[in-house]
Amino acid sequence: MATQIWEIDSSHSGVHFNVRHLVVAKVRGQFTRWSGRVRVEDGDLAHASVEVVIDASSIDTGVTDRDTHLRSADFLDVEKFPEITFKGKTVDKTGEVLSVAGELTIHGVTREAVLEVEYSGQAQDPWGNQRIGFSARTALDRKDFGLTWNQALEAGGVLVGDRIAIEIEVEAVKQSAEKAA
């Protein structure tokens, strides 16, 4: 069986995150512009790889001033580091759960990251396209990527938590042999 190429349909997918704010609450956000593809060798998800590119300037928490600050040199520094990338290289498959390990680059720093992925299945859409779905989760320490800005609080603690939880929903479309080449 040949290599299957699945282009991520970003209009039916999402990259979301949350982080503690003022110790007591979570701020949620997403990236609105991103793309990627999944390569599956011989139809076996255990032999898959994934590449994703996120436009760092597309960060959206629903608050314009906060988003501007997150794009600044204090955080993502999108002028200097316009993209966040993930290159998943190895897959460990246990039943329906996949662990996808790869290189995550944020703010110019590359670290290994492991996504816990649930396979949602395949379906044919009304236009004859084969679609595949996944849900993925991971967490990271933002300081590992050089995102160290913070502010101490008078009552103790800090303004922004270090742990960022990430949730990804993926719907991808199988490419024809001509498009995949």
DSSP the chain: -PPEEEEE-GGG-EEEEEEEETTTEEEEEEE--EEEEEEEGGG-GGGEEEEEEEEGGGEE-S-HHHHHHHHSTTTT-TTT--EEEEEEEEEEEETTEEEEEEEEEETTEEEEEEEEEEEEEEEE-TTS-EEEEEEEEEEEEGGGGT-----B-TTSSBSEEEEEEEEEEEEEEEPPHHHH-
Q: Name all domains of the chain by residue range, CATH numbers in brackets.
A: 4-180 (2.40.128.110)
pTM of the predicted protein model: 0.89
pLDDT at residue 156, rounded to an integer: 72
**127 vs 46, which has greater pLDDT?**
127
| Res. 21 pLDDT band, cuts 50 70 90 | confident
